[in-house]
A = this chain, B = another copy of it.
Amino acid sequence: MSGEDAPAEQQNAVDQKLETKPAEEPKAEPPKAEPAPAAADAAAAATGDDEAAATPAATTEKVPEEETFTYRALVLTGYGGYDKVKLQVKKGKPVLKTGEVQVRVKACGLNFADLMARQGLYDRLPSPPVTPGMECSGVVEAVGEEVTERKVGDRVMVINRCGLWQEVAVVPATHTFLIPEGMGFEEAAALPVNYITAYMMLFDFGNLRPNQSVLVHAAAGGVGIAATQLCNTVKDVTVFGTASASKHEIISQGGVTHPIDYRTKDYVEEVRKISPKGMDIILDPLGGSDTHKAYNLLKPMGKLITYGTSNMLAGQKKNLLAVAKNWYHQFSIHTLSLIQGNKSVCGFHLGYLDGEMELITQTMDIILDLYKQGKVKPRIDSTWHLEQVGDAMRKMQERNNIGKVILSTEPMPEEEKKEEPKKEDKKEDKKKDDKKKDDKKKDDGKKEEKKDDKKKEEPKKEEKKEEEKKEEPKEEK
């Protein structure tokens, strides 16, 4: 997923406008003088793609289309709470580089990394303002030079480092996968990140085989449900799944052998009661002290696969205490302990698998085969309009979802805007407050963006170094 330049260029090339009443038709403003070749240079520098840099921006003369082409986009304007993700309008038809495709986005998937990113806890997201979003589905509406595997009209699912929570996304064609017949756009947006993650953890690091036992934390979450389904493709695998009691019926139907209510019971004790020797594989999205527990729960030859630090997320803004606690309790392991225990500790995060698209594509092919055989099927928890992104994120962060939380790019009907959103059950007041804040901060947001444009003229090769520095999460501005 090395296509981080694409969304950056999309941001560079257009003027952004805050949309205060989300579904109103945005006013067409004349675009500013566009530094298209410079942007292309910068983008090419970031990917080391000299050919792209040499390609002149052939569209500069089609001024009318550039001016009239607009699309809605979610933009993270700064680190913080749910209100930091704003719906804006971008203008100007994106310029495709060699190997890229332009996708008319239909649905987008939410991931925990998006929540971490909003709080400044995910170093793979470029600095705000930036459009988040690691996966989406849609239809190809333009292809760049040398794209042979995709054509206009193809229904595709997409993964990318970021930049997919918008109506129009530009990505390398290699980041797209054809949607199988019979799969809807919402399902397609729910599949890539969760199923690739679950598959690579279970079958590459985990080396899952018949008769083994797997502990799946957050078994009602997107990865949890994918992992459960994938476990069930192997003979006689026993799945232990943690989830709050209200979700047990659904996850049991989904294939969890032993649901465990981690809120009222000590899950370690519960697992030991049933499997005294422990687990063959443990998937750990929690981090902190739960990773220690997982390590001790492993059988000899057992594999602990940690893929997140969701324990760091406490509240909608960065909770310094939770972050510090997580760092303090962060699991660190000596090799002598691994040797004496015959254990394996692995870390996984799809967001850091840059440049491994071949591996990811192989994995996707297997997953899509399993889908066609009816062995896996994403479960959609709920679908939200772009305007409701804050509520969608809240639902996920508060662990109220069972399955995937999806954003749809369908325009929000006027009547819904006046009503309370159908799928929201609480905290409506808070949400409205957030919206007011949005309005207030709109000018600040604009200033930040301009600053950022300036910065981007510097060559992007520096980007990687900057990201490394960012390991210590930034304070909210």
State the A residues within 8 Å of B (CB).
Answer: 200, 204-205, 207, 287, 291, 300-301, 303, 306-309, 330-349, 352-353, 355-356, 359
> In this complex, what residue of B is CB-closest to A287?
B335
Q: Are A353 and B300 in contact (CB under 8 A)?
A: yes
**7 contacting pairs across A/B (C-beta < 8 A):** A205-B303, A300-B353, A339-B348, A340-B347, A341-B352, A342-B349, A344-B347
- Chain B residues contacting A308 (CB-CB under 8 Å) are 339
> In this complex, what residue of B is CB-closest to A468?
B340
- Secondary structure at chain A's binding surface: helix, strand, loop or mixed? mixed
Q: Are B352 and A347 in contact (CB under 8 A)?
A: no
Task: Tell me, in angstroms, the Cα distance from A343 to B349 when the chains sit together.
Answer: 10
A307 nearest CB across to chain B (Å): 7
Question: Quick one: given A207-B204, A301-B200, are A336 and B346 in contact (CB under 8 Å)?
Answer: no
> In this complex, what residue of B is CB-closest to A123?
B340
Task: Tell me, in angstroms, the Cα distance from A199 to B205 when the chains sit together.
Answer: 16
Q: Are B352 and A339 in contact (CB under 8 A)?
A: yes
> In this complex, what residue of B is CB-closest to A332?
B334
Question: Quick one: given A204-B301, A301-B204, are A345 and B353 in contact (CB under 8 Å)?
Answer: no
Question: Quick one: given A301-B200, A301-B204, are A336 and B330 in contact (CB under 8 Å)?
Answer: yes
- Chain B residues contacting A300 (CB-CB under 8 Å) are 352-353, 355-356, 359
Copies in the complex: 2
Task: Tell me, in angstroms, the Cα distance from A306 to B356 when the chains sit together.
Answer: 25
Q: Which of A309, A330, A335 has the most CB of B within 10 A?
A: A335
Q: Are B306 and A339 in contact (CB under 8 A)?
A: yes
Q: Are A347 and B356 in contact (CB under 8 A)?
A: no
- Chain B residues contacting A334 (CB-CB under 8 Å) are 330-332
- Chain B residues contacting A345 (CB-CB under 8 Å) are 333, 335, 338, 344-346
Question: Quick one: given A306-B335, A334-B332, are A348 and B359 in contact (CB under 8 Å)?
Answer: no
- Chain B residues contacting A353 (CB-CB under 8 Å) are 300-301, 342
A308 nearest CB across to chain B (Å): 7
- Chain B residues contacting A291 (CB-CB under 8 Å) are 335
Task: Tell me, in angstroms, the Cα distance from A338 to B287 when the chains sit together.
Answer: 12
- Chain B residues contacting A346 (CB-CB under 8 Å) are 303, 338, 343-345
Q: Are B347 and A337 in contact (CB under 8 A)?
A: yes
A198 nearest CB across to chain B (Å): 14
A375 nearest CB across to chain B (Å): 21
Checking B307, B333, B335 against A339 with a beta-carbon cut-off of 8 angstroms, the contacting residue is B307
> In this complex, what residue of B is CB-closest to A338?
B347
Task: Tell me, in angstroms, the Cα distance from A330 to B335 when the chains sit together.
Answer: 7
- Chain B residues contacting A200 (CB-CB under 8 Å) are 301
> In this complex, what residue of B is CB-closest to A203?
B207
